[in-house]
Amino acid sequence: MRSYRVPSLPALVALLAAAVLIVVGTETATAASVIGHAARPAPAGTTAAPARAPITCPDGEPYNVRNYGATGNGSTSDTGAINRAIDAAAGAGGGVVQFPPGTYRSAGSIHMKSNITIRLDSGSTILGSPNDDYDPPESNPNDEYQDYGHSHFHNAMIWGDRLSNLCFTGSGVIDGGGNLITGNPDSGEADKIISLTRCEGLNVNGITLRRGGHFAMLTNACTNISSDRLRVDTVSDRDGWNVINAQNVTITNADISANDDALAFKSDWALGRTYDNGHVTVTDSKLSAGCCNALMFGSETCGDFTDYRFERITINGSNKSGLGMVSMDGTVISDVHYKDIAMTNVRSAIMEKVGTRRRCGDGPGVGRIENITYENVTSSGQSSNNFTATLWGESGASNRIRNVTFTNVDLTVPGGNGCMGTGVPSNDPGNYNPNSIGTRPSYGWYIHNAHDIKFVDSSVQFVSNDCRPAVIANTGSGVSFERFTAERGSGSPFDMGFQSITGYCVANSTDTGGGALRVSATGGSTQACTPVPGNRLEAENATISQGVVEFNHAGFTGTGFVNYTNVAGSYVEFTVNAAQAGNVTLTFRFANGTTANRPMDITVNGVLASDELAFPGTGAWTTWSTATVTTTLNAGANTVRATATTANGGPNLDHLALPA
């Protein structure tokens, strides 16, 4: 019989803190504000971010594994001593299990428990063993829905299930030592370093995972994950970190080098149900993948994904996708935003695909991908047999890719392809890899079954002459290119091809020599491009007081918009640099899904320029309009502030535009 202990005082404090819920109104007319942040009901098709329990790593006098019999000599199995130290700490309500300098051979599985910090001091290593004494894989009736490695969790160096408040800290190493299996393991063999399922609160800071077998780390159905300065080196094995069925994840300063997928977000059926996924941020990280994908959604995609932000990420090497996103098993992937991404030596820079594998136990339909942005993304140094950047939706109107915006996305590809037909390439709808689609008839971008796709201030060019067009869009609507630059190959029939696209446009765009782009269109219709301001300041990059950056309503520019808190006095302040003093027209782009006007005072350098400028209802939060005011700017830096004057707060503010 399992015994249960009363939690320690620190654990009780953490539980009480987790119970505190702060609710803030924003778009609705009900006013409330707390320290400048806001929350609103989730839009249709998404889930609101769950309340985050604080991740408090257990502290205090450490349980030194040497005091429980560990030798640290690199040859004697220390697994028993390690588990005794963990049991002792857990029995006291939680604590720190310390590994001082030394090499601790783990010839069997280490069993994690709740409220445990594994602290790896500098010079310490937990090392895998070839003795084949690891725990056997548990049975799983859901094996058929995902690969073996995703379906079994106990055959690992370290594993735990249904735990809370887990931490791995320090500057030491956990090394499989070349003893972990990259395929399906036999009895006693392990294929993972860290395997955690159904956990609440995980912190991984500073440690290094090396030679991880199939997975250096696999987390499934874990929520409230934070990681800083994690290093993974499993280039001789397979995957780095698979984050599966996860919500509330923050990863900073990661350095992950893998042979297979480096950092992958997935949702499978291994635990016999779907899970919501999202509210994830990954920043300031480095990724590389030998054979496969660097930063990936899928291929396992049973539950929906929403609210992901990837910023300031460097990718060096990927033989499949640098930025990959597939919906293979009925999932909806929405509100994903990439910003400041630099890629080199990736075979497929950007790929989005909707497929029809439908490998989940709930009889899923076909999914879709929507509301995705890419800003300040570069890719160069690709191998000669690269795959054209691709958006590939399915044929059903509700299964397509829609509302994807590329801003300052510049791709340099190898080129070198000869002339070919411009028909739709072959496709295996059950395969997620970039090679599942045949050779694309365009070298820069191929777009198929997609709606509302926008390119702004972006470009494609090649290293070696390519006879294919730069871009082909086939079947869909609302495909636009504003200030787009494309290199022209000698012998190419045209530069931009639109096949059965309703409402396409190309404006203010040229080839790399400054000439007009040649457009070929069949079976569709043109439309006027929505003007894109030449001097636009995004609200999400401005100074915000009592408001929050969001991106859950389609049609915004940049990477989001500011949702004002429902109080008078909430504001957004821009810094506007003017080459010379003079009168200018300021244009504010906004949405107001209510029927009530939400006026704002506009001040320039602290002086009122417009008293309660009107921001009337626009009919929906996805319907955007503009409000203008003419004022005088000084030469140099100016501050422009838009301040709400009523208890309803301001509208959703997208950007401030000035004349080019």
Is residue 10 over pLDDT 80? no
Mean pLDDT of 569-574: 97
Between CA 533 and CA 356 the distance in angstroms is 40
Query: What is the per-residue pLDDT across 66-81, written as a single tens digit (0 to 9) for each?
Result: 999 999 999 999 999 9
Compute CA distances 542 → 40, 198, 536, 656, whole Å.
Answer: 21, 39, 12, 10
Confidence of residue 42 (pLDDT cuts 50, 70, 90): very low
Q: Within 10 Å of residue 528's Cβ, how many Cβ atoms?
A: 9
Between CA 445 and CA 427 the distance in angstroms is 16
Is residue 36 over pLDDT 60? no
Q: How many CA atoms lie within 13 A of 95 on its CB side?
A: 18
pLDDT for 12 equals: 38
Query: What is the per-residue pLDDT across 92-112, written as a single tens digit (0 to 9) for each?
Result: 999 999 999 999 999 999 999
Between CA 589 and CA 77 the distance in angstroms is 65
DSSP per residue, 354-400: E-----STT-----EEEEEEEEEEEEE---TT-B-EEEE--SSGGGS
Going across the sheet that includes 571-578, the strands are 543-545, 571-578, 636-644, 600-604, 607-613
Length of the chain, please?
660
- Taken in order 299, 300, 304, 308, the sign of the CA dihedral is negative
Element (DSSP H or E) covering residue 85: helix 79-91
Q: Position 65: which residue type?
A: V
Between CA 24 and CA 40 the distance in angstroms is 7
Q: The tokens of 602 are what?
A: 């506009």
Is residue 240 over pLDDT 60? yes
Q: The tokens of 529 are what?
A: 């491009």
pLDDT for 533 equals: 62
Q: Position 454: which residue type?
A: K
Considering the chain, what is the average pLDDT of its residues?
A: 90
Which contacts qualify for 8-11: CB closer than 8 Å, 24 or more apart?
Answer: 8/92, 8/93, 8/94, 8/115, 10/56, 10/58, 10/59, 10/93, 10/94, 11/58, 11/93, 11/94, 11/115, 11/165
Q: The tokens of 175 are what?
A: 């090394």
* Torsion angles phi and psi, residue 92, rounded to 5: -90, 10
Give the contacts of 478 (CB within 8 A, at least 6 positions apart): 451, 452, 453, 502, 503, 504, 527
Give the contacts of 152 (CB within 8 A, at least 6 positions apart): 137, 138, 140
Has this prediction a pTM greater than 0.85? no
Higher pLDDT, 507 or 13: 507
Residue 402 burial (C-beta neighbours within 10 Å; 0-12, 13-18, 19+): buried
**CB contact burial 566-590 (16+ within 10 A = b; e otherwise):** bbeebbbebebebeeeeebebbbbb
Percent of the chain with pLDDT over 70: 91
Confidence of residue 646 (pLDDT cuts 50, 70, 90): very high
- Taken in order 611, 613, 616, 620, the sign of the CA dihedral is negative
Query: Strand pairing of 110-111 and 158-161?
Result: parallel
Q: How many CA atoms lie within 13 A of 327 on its CB side?
A: 25
Query: What is the per-residue pLDDT across 134-145, written as a single tens digit (0 to 9) for each?
Result: 999 999 999 999
CB–CB of 533/587 below 8 Å? yes
Query: What is the per-residue pLDDT across 528-571, written as a single tens digit (0 to 9) for each?
Result: 887 666 678 999 999 999 999 998 888 788 788 999 999 999 99
Mean pLDDT of 256-260: 97
pLDDT for 453 equals: 96
Is residue 24 over pLDDT 90? no
Mean pLDDT of 9-31: 36
3-state SS track over 180-248: CCCCCCCCCCCCEEEEEECCEEEEEECCEEECCCCEEEEEECCEEEEEECCEEEECCCCEEEEEECCEE
pLDDT for 600 equals: 98
Q: Which of 246, 244, 249, 238 is nearest to 209 (CA)?
A: 238
